C-alpha cells in the first residue's frame, strides 16, 4: 500500500474501448473514474491490459497499431517514456519489398502489464479521469483498442498528500 493512502474499496476492474473513425488518425477517449474529490479520493492502478487490433499487412510497408493509457489528455499516443503514460502497447508488421503481405514479420509489445512483486502499484490517478489513446500507421482500415484497468479507490491521509498527487499528475501532462 502506498504511504499516505488508505484503501476505500475492494479491487475494481474498469473497461473501455476506443476506435479510429479514419485509419491512421489519433483518437482518445476519456474514462471517467467518478472519484470523490471532497474526500480526497484517488485511484490506485495495480494492473492493466491493453488489447490493440493487429495492423494491416501491406507489401513493402511497415504498419503499426499503437495505444496507451494516460493519466492526462494527450495529443499523441506517447510511450512509457512519458510520465503521464501508465502503459502502452504496440503491434507492428514489418514487410520489406521482397515479401508478400502474408510474409511480413509481426511484433507485439505491451508495457507494463502489472506491478512487479517489489512494487505496490503502477500508478496513482488523482484526477477524475484517465485516457485511452490510439493511432495506426500505414493501415488501410480503422483500428480499435480495448483496455481493462485493475485497481482500487483510496483516500489520501491528508490534504497535503492529496494536493501533491494532483499537482504531480497535472504537471506530468
Render pLDDT for 13-71 as a digit per residue (tens, 0 to 9).
Answer: 999 999 999 999 999 999 999 999 899 999 999 999 999 999 998 888 899 999 999 99
CATH topology classification for 5-171: Jelly Rolls (2.60.120)
| pTM score, whole prediction | 0.88
Q: What is the pLDDT of residue 3?
A: 84
Q: How confident is the model at residue 169 (pLDDT cuts 50, 70, 90)?
A: confident
Q: What are the percentages of helix, strand and coil residues in the chain, rounded to 5?
A: 10, 45, 45
- pLDDT band (50, 70, 90) for residue 2: confident
Domain ranges of the chain: 5-171
Amino acid at each position: 500500500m502506498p504511504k499516505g493512502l488508505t484503501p476505500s474499496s475492494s479491487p475494481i476492474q474498469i473497461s473501455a474501448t476506443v476506435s479510429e473513425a479514419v485509419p491512421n488518425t489519433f483518437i482518445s477517449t476519456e474514462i471517467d473514474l467518478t472519484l470523490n474529490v471532497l474526500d480526497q479520493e484517488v485511484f490506485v492502478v495495480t494492473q492493466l491490459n491493453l488489447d490493440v487490433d493487429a495492423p494491416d499487412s501491406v507489401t513493402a510497408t511497415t504498419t503499426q497499431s499503437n495505444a496507451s493509457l494516460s493519466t492526462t489528455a494527450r495529443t499523441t499516443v506517447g510511450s512509457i517514456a512519458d510520465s503521464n503514460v501508465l502503459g502502452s502497447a504496440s503491434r507492428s508488421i514489418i514487410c520489406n519489398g521482397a515479401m508478400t503481405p502474408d510474409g511480413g514479420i509481426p511484433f507485439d509489445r505491451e508495457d507494463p502489464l502489472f506491478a512487479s512483486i517489489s512494487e505496490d502499484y503502477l500508478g496513482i490517478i488523482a484526477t477524475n479521469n484517465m485516457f485511452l489513446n490510439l493511432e495506426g500507421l500505414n493501415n488501410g482500415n480503422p483500428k480499435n483498442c480495448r483496455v481493462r484497468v485493475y485497481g482500487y479507490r483510496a483516500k489520501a491521509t491528508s490534504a497535503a498528500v492529496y494536493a501533491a498527487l494532483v499537482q504531480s499528475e497535472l504537471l506530468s501532462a
